Structure formats: C-alpha cells, structure tokens
Chains A and B, each alone.
Chain A
Amino acid sequence: MDTFASTNSTSQRELIESVVIRFAGDSGDGMQLTGSQFSDTTALMGNDLSTLPDFPAEIRAPAGTTFGVSGFQVHFAAHDIMTPGDAPDVLVAMNPAALKVNLRDLKPGGLLVVNTGAFTAGNLKKAGYDKNPLEDSSLDGYRLLKIDITKHTLQSVESFGLGNKEAVRAKNMWTLGLMMWMFGRERESTAEWLRGKFAKNPNIAEANIAALNAGHVYGETAEMPQGIHAYEVPKARLQEGHYRNVTGNEATAWGLLTGGKLAGLELVLGSYPITPASTILHSLSNLRAYGITTFQAEDEIAAVCAAIGASYAGALGITTTSGPGLALKTEAIGLAVSTELPLVVVDVQRGGPSTGLPTKTEQSDLLFAVYGRNGDCPLVVLAASTPGDCFTMAVEAVRLATKYMTPVILLTDGFLANSAEPWKIPDINSFEPFPVKHRTEPAGFHPFLRDPQTLARNWAVPGTPGLEHRIGGLEKNYDSGNISYDPDNHHKMVKVRAAKIAGVGDDIPLQKIDQGDDSGDLLVVGWGSTYGAISSAVLGARKAGLKVSHAHIRYMHPMPKNLGEVLKRFKHVLVPEMNNGMLVKILRSDYLVDARGLNKIAGQPFKIAEIEAEIRGLLASA
C-alpha cells in the first residue's frame, strides 16, 4: 500500500493512496463475483481502478486443489492508475490451495486474510501442505488475519433456514463485507445487486445480504491483531463526465453496435462459443433491439461464412473468436479479401499454440492476423490498448471495413476482455457518421468497379434490379469482374488489393508519442493490453531522469505513415510483448531499426517493475 505522508487524525481510518487486493479461492467459491462487486462499489465511490480476473479453464475443478484456484485482483487508488497492480498488498485466501498458489505474489509484510474454517487436514493435503502453515512460522513475514469465515457465515445466515451447502456458499459475501469494512466501501449497491440476482428467491438474497452485513459488523466490532485496521482511499481526480465500469468485451460489443449505427447498416454476428470471446456473443445476443442479428453457428468456419454471406446481402457481417477459431476462419477470410466484402473479425487473443491456455492472456496472434492466409492476402489489423479503447477500435473496425470493402481483424486479448476499468461513457452523437451507400445505378456497373480514391469496389446488393452479377474466390478481371486466368491481370489484381489496404494508412491517425519527448535515448513501443504497464514503467523511468518515451501502436496493419520516422528519432527501441517477439519482428523488417524485444509469455500481464527494470538495464548498458 502506498501510504500518505500523514494519516488523518480525525478519523480512525488510515488514509492510503492506493491498494491492491487479491481475492482467491476455489473456482466454486464465487471469487469472481466478490471481486467484481468490490470493484463496482469502488468505482461508484470515485476511485480509479483496474482489475485482473484470473481463473482456471475448468469450470469446477475438484474442490480444494491448486489447479482449481480462481483469483480476482483489483487495484484502486486516489489517483489515475493503469494496471491491476504488480503485487497484492492484501491477499484473501479462502482455502489452503488459494494460499499456496498466491502467497508468492503477496508483498512482504502484506496483509493476509485466511479462512481458517477451510484449513482442514483434507484441504491441506490437497493443496500439498505437509503441515498447517497457519500453525508454524512460515507466514511470519506477513500480517496475518485468521478468521473462521465458514463458521461466522453459518451463524449469520442461521435464521434463513438454508441447507448447509447454500449457507456455506454465502461465505464470499461475508468476506466481501469484511473487506468493505476494511476499505470503507458502501454495501448498498451489492445488496441491490443481490436482490436483483435472486429476485425469484428473496430468501437467498436476504441471507446473502445478512452475511455481507455480518462480515462488515465483524470488522467494526472484533478486536483486530496488531497492525490491522481500517483504511480510507480518497476519490481519484477523474476527468469530468459520466462514468461506468467496463470490460473490454462489453466495450467491444457496444463499439460494434455503434459502428453499425454510424454506418447505417444492420449487423449480423456469426459466432461460435470460445473462451475468452464468448461474452461478446452473449452481450450482443441480448442487444438485438440495437440493430443486430446474432447467430450461434455450428462451428467457427460457419460463423465467419455466415458473416460473409450477410455482408454479401448488404448487412455488415461480424465474427468474434479467439486464436484457434481464427485459425479455422482463415480460408473464409481470404474469400472476403478476394471478393472484397466488408467483414469485422474480433480476435480475443489467448495463450497458444493450439488450445494453449484458454483463460490466460497473450498477444501471440499478431503475425497470424497480419500475414496468416494463403496467397497475397492483405487486410486491416487493429489492436485495442485498454478495455475502454475496445469501444473506439470496434467503431474504427466497422468504419474501415465498410469504407474500404475489406475484412478488418480487431485484436484484443483475454486480459482486456475480462479486465474492468472506469470508463468515461462516450456520446455516440459525437462520432462522425460514415453512412454506407450501396450501388443502385445500373449504368456502367460491374462488380469490381473501384472508387478512384479509396480503391474500394462498389457494393451492389442482391435484390437490386439491373445489378445482377457473380462474385467468387477465383481471380477476377480488373475491368469486368468476370473470372480471369490472365497472368498480367492477376499481377494487377494482387497489386491493387495491396494498394487499397496500404491506402488505409492515409486514413488513420499519425503515430503519436503517448508519453515523453519526441526524441531521446529510448522509445518503448507497445501494442494492445500492455499499455498500462508500459505507461507506468516509462513514467517511473522518466521520474528517475531517463530519456525514455512511450509510443503505443493501435493500427497494426497498415501502420501509421510516420512510424518509421518516429522510431528513428530514438537511439534505442524496446518492444515489450506478451509473445515470443512479433511486433519487434515487423518493426525490424519494415523499418530496418535495431529494435529489441522484451518478452513475457506467462499467460499473465506484464508487471510495471519488469518493464522498468528492462528500461534501466538497457540504458545502463547502452
């Protein structure tokens, strides 16, 4: 915890500047709910925050095992923050397995809250403990708060007549109540949420609220061990506006709808369930009133093909997926490139290769998105850098797809997808509309007639009299759109498709320096969800006097026109990525700069300290 220089003497609460809490328990313990409720309340109370849900791929791994541990980390502060925090100040461990898995991350001297009720001989054995760590000296380096949460929970819900299983289940709410006491959070919004969630079973709702209140009361009344007390984290100074918490997947869904509205098009989503992209399908399936038809297809290929069929019909086809699904879709995406139909593909990246790490984050589909198709097959690739940026880039994906008649791949990742941050809600009326005009004029028509400026072909839609035509994946004659095997024509068509995509470079913002000077010793170049960690690391390095700047790329292909020139203004270029070196390869090959990679391929976001150490090391040895 970063503490203020002086504590507020009028309150019993110690004023602190920021705190990182990690809730950890069995995957059935409700830790994701606990964390998200704590986060929502925290946002409502005016703190800036960032969250990191971390859960296993198994829905209900065997109880008590280390591989079934689910965690939710929330970082909140009285100032602007950009990451979920390098290491927790507070660890809540609901059972021995949660302690075993998470203890190594807890800061030295950190606060450790454990549910002693779960530290049974059986659970200790399942977690791999020979002896109870609560009873030896192994936790002496931490401030330990031992509470039999299970027992207290059962007492608090006794009067509701629940079965034992349901009664025990309320222990996450008891724990949440305790933590809300500790950090001065209000309980009303959680109580309201519980009443809504259990509207059909008010008894369960009230029991959970009783547990929540009991945890809070426990904090107020029980005598705490030395060094453990309540804290206050004052409001952050956020920009004026209307805010909410948003995850990347929610923002993506809303951005797609907004894009559709700005284009004046009906949307058709073809999707197949896949972690961590499925929640976009869920969100949009609930939003059919907003101009979208959602189709759960039989597989990833059918999902993208249905989207292409919809685009052929004059709607905008969208498909949402993750790495393995993108692999299956590649042939169809090539068809959309060849037939020059608009298509938006959202790839919520996860650990690979193959099935990889379904619930863990990674940035390892970049080269695949940019280059991964048969033939010379260029398209537009965008990358969102924060949960809120998913909204902006989804709108941008729709704009570019429809304006240039091309597939656009929007890269997000598992961290962005599930991570929440306070988001200043945009007013969609402030976006410039980009209405699509389908061709209706028969005179002079052929299907591959191009706009001389954008090189986009005209979009003629079935149902339009006089524009009957055929398209397909075979090469087309430049002047008629009919099948052509002519060698020179093929050369010309490959070049014109490439030129069209290259031309998008004139229609996107120039690369800006996100932080620091326009030139200097080192430029740290990132893309995607590493934004917060890089930004914080560069801030730290600059405070230490180092001549470091940060540039974050959101247009991955084509890249901003000035990027090469920006790179050359710095003596060194460092590219932190959650993969084995992809953007660094593109920068080296496209711009002939001696960029160096910093690679973390652990299924976890970068820690600020990891990047800052690399910056210092690089400049020290330079």
Chain B
Amino acid sequence: MTPLDPPNPPLTRKDFTSDQEVRWCPGCGDYAILAAVQRMLPELGVRRENTVFISGIGCSSRFPYYMNTYGFHTIHGRAPAIATGLKLANPQLDVWLITGDGDGLSIGGNHLMHLLRRNLNLQIILFNNRIYGLTKGQYSPTSLLGKRSPSSPMGSVDNPIAPAAFALGCGARFVARGVDTDAKNLIATLTRAHEFQGTGFVEVFQNCPVFNDGAFDHFTAKDVAAQQQLHLEHGKPMRFGDDKGLRLRPGSLDIEVVTVGENGVTEADLLVHDETNRAQAFLLANLEPPAFPVAVGVLFRSDENLVPFEVGMHEQNKQARARGLGDINALMRKGHTWKVDGDPTGDQPG
C-alpha cells in the first residue's frame, strides 16, 4: 500500500469536525475521545477523503456522524464485517472502526474475533464503559460481577471479559489501552495503532456519567491515577506510583508489586516492558486494581510481519490477473462444448 501524500495545506481539527450537533449526554467520555481523534488526525497528516469511520450500534457508534470524513453507521455488532468488505474492495482506505463493549464483545464478538485474527490493516477503538448506555443501563459483557442494573436487579452473575485479553487471545497483533480523559497518552497510543501495519486494537476506558458513573475512578481519578496506572514504554522498567514496580515473583509466572528500595529490590529487578512478548502482554492485560495497577499504553505489538488479510487477497488477485482480466466468453467455451449447425443429422420421428 503506497501512502498518500499529506494534504496541502495541512488540515486542522476543524477540518475533521462535521456540521452535525454532537448528541451524547453532558459529561460523556465520548466527547473527550472525539476531541482527541479530531486533534490527532491533522497531526497524522491523513487526508479526509481517504479516511473512513465505520461503527456498529450504541452510544459510541454515533461517532462517525461527527467526523468530517467518510463514515458508515452500520448495524449492531457487524462493523468489523462491513470494514472487511470495505478494505477488500479498497485496501488504500484508512479505516477506523468504532465500537463499544456491547457492540464489539457481545453481539459482535464473533466478527471482532475474526477481524483480529485476519489482521486487516485498520484501527479499532473499543469504547469500554462497562454498561449498555443507549438502551438505558443494562449490564454489559464487561460489567463487573454483582453489577446492579435494570436487567440484573439482584446483581450480575455474568462473569465479565477483559477486552485486551480477548484481543490477545484472538491473535491480535497490536493491543493497547487508553483513558478517555488522558488525551495526551490516548493520542500517542492511537498514533501507534495507526502506524502499525495490521489491526491496531485500542481499548479506551470511557466513563458513562449517566448509567455507570465513576466505573474507572479507582484508577483514573486525578488523585489515584499515578498510583494505579502503569504507563507502558517499550524497553523501560515497569514502574508506577512514587516507588512501585512490577516483577515476576521468583519461581513463578505470576506478577507481583514491589517497592523499589525496600527489601533490597532495585530497578534492575523489575520487569522490562517488551511490546513484542505476547505472554507478558497477557499478564499485563489481566492486572486489576486494587492488588495491581491497570496497564495502559501499548501492551503488545507483534514484530512478526503477518501480511494483512486484504493485502494477501489483493496479491492473489494480481497473480490471478497476471495476464490481464480474463475473457468470460472464452471461459464459457472451455471444456466440453459442441456446435450445432443449421441442419442436424439426427432423424426426426415420423
């Protein structure tokens, strides 16, 4: 895929903002994500006409209407399948898939799985608010056990899924996380996803102020964020808070929290983040407060070059058409055929 030249003159955030009034609830985390994306795209130097936002159904899936690019608000859970057809028809397009925890992991879990394993070259932003917002507050596949909601008044007994771990299990080659209100890090992470040649999967912790307010406060609130978030950087030791760090518990494959400077622990004892290590990424994806910090940033980036699905398909098309497009008339005349002239020799019944 040959990259297009950046637009000249360069575009601004305003160029990526559509004329449609944004209709999310006041205080919704979606506003922050929308703003971050609209700020980022000019920095990426992409063209509006080559950019496509595809979404399913749910609050987050209204996103395309607010982007002054191409956009398709599809049906519940099916955005990955629509995006697959779009990329098969035109691999040059720069596609962002917008989904949520219900759209992507419940009704559309199957399609998301197959998109991830096929490694199409596009970006997925999964807005995880751990609730169904648009249908008024039912529990979602990422809602925690015990969640009380209109459809689980006695508390949910439905064991939740960790989106990043799901993506890794599906064979995703780029898995990252961000926080809706942390624009700086979110933009950096989305930019990395965009650079990646293959599916870049980014889970964003997104607050729903109406139906699940504060679901992530225990690690996103200003006063605890530094203590409860581990910002991953490739090649750097896993440090968080003032003096905390992660290391492998000796003799096990478990991660433990240690304090640097206590009990003889030094920075050299800490795990060093290796983006290319899938097993380590699995451990990071499953860390949960309060015992552990939440890992954000790029959890995993495969360094094996798996050809994206649509690229492989187009390579085959090229091979098949090496001698030009086939001649259908000739195709239909291959194999056993026969000619009948005006005067058949067959006798006719008298």
Contact = CB atoms under 8 A, between A and B. Distances in A.
A244 B52 CA distance: 46
Contacts of A483: 20, 65
A171 to B, nearest CB: 24
A520 B146 CA distance: 74
A227 to B, nearest CB: 22
The DSSP consensus for interface residues of chain B is: mixed
B328 A462 contact: no
A472 B82 CA distance: 12
A585 interface: no
B313 interface: yes
Contacts of B113: 298
B49 A466 contact: yes
A237 B67 CA distance: 65
A43 B336 contact: yes
Interface stretch (A27-35, A358-366, A421-429, A554-562): A421-429
Contact of A471 (B73, B110, B314): B73
Interface stretch (A308-316, A486-494, A508-516): A308-316
A470 B65 contact: yes
A67 interface: no
Q: Identify which of B69, B75, B314 gathers the most chain A CB atoms within 10 Å of its CB.
A: B75
B93 A462 contact: yes
Contacts of B67: 470
B344 A425 contact: no
A312 B349 contact: no
Interface residues of B, number: 66
Interface in B316-350: 316-317, 320-321, 323, 325-326, 328-329, 331-333, 335-342, 344-350
A5 B350 contact: yes
B49 A463 contact: yes
B350 A4 contact: yes
Given A189-B336, A235-B345, A310 B74 contact: no
A255 to B, nearest CB: 10
B265 interface: no
A25 to B, nearest CB: 24
A429 B68 contact: no
B39 interface: no
Interface string B85-101: 11111101100000000
A306 interface: yes
A295 B88 contact: yes
The DSSP consensus for interface residues of chain A is: mixed
B114 A302 contact: yes
Interface in B46-62: 47-50, 52, 54
A241 to B, nearest CB: 6
A468 B350 CA distance: 71
Contacts of B333: 242, 244, 425
A556 B349 CA distance: 39
B20 A482 contact: yes
Nearest to B336: A40
Contacts of B348: 78-79, 234, 237
A295 B84 contact: yes
Contacts of A288: 316-317, 320-321
Contacts of A299: 110
Interface in B293-322: 313-314, 316-317, 320-321
Contact of A468 (B69, B331, B347): B69
A465 interface: yes
Contacts of A298: 81, 110-111, 113-114
A497 B205 CA distance: 40
B347 A44 contact: no
Contacts of A317: 85, 89
Contacts of B90: 313-315, 462-463
Contact of B325 (A244, A289, A302, A428): A289
A238 B346 CA distance: 10
Contacts of B336: 40, 43-44, 189, 244-245
A312 B83 CA distance: 10
Nearest to A40: B336
Contacts of B82: 305-306, 308-309, 312
Contacts of B329: 427-429
A428 B84 CA distance: 31
B18 A46 contact: no
B24 interface: no
Interface string B221-259: 000000000000000000000000000000000000000
A15 interface: yes
B78 interface: yes
Given A237-B346, A254-B328, A261-B328, A46 B340 contact: yes
Interface in A273-302: 287-291, 293, 295, 297-299, 301-302
Contact of B85 (A307, A428, A473): A307
Q: Identify which of A237, A288, A335, A470 gathers the most chain B CB atoms within 10 Å of its CB.
A: A470
Nearest to B317: A288
A232 to B, nearest CB: 9
B73 A463 contact: no
Contact of B340 (A240, A245, A306, A427): A240
Contacts of A471: 71-73
10 contacts: A78-B349, A235-B345, A244-B335, A244-B337, A270-B85, A289-B323, A310-B86, A462-B52, A463-B90, A472-B74
Given A242-B333, A305-B111, 5 more contacts: A237-B346, A309-B87, A311-B89, A313-B85, A467-B49
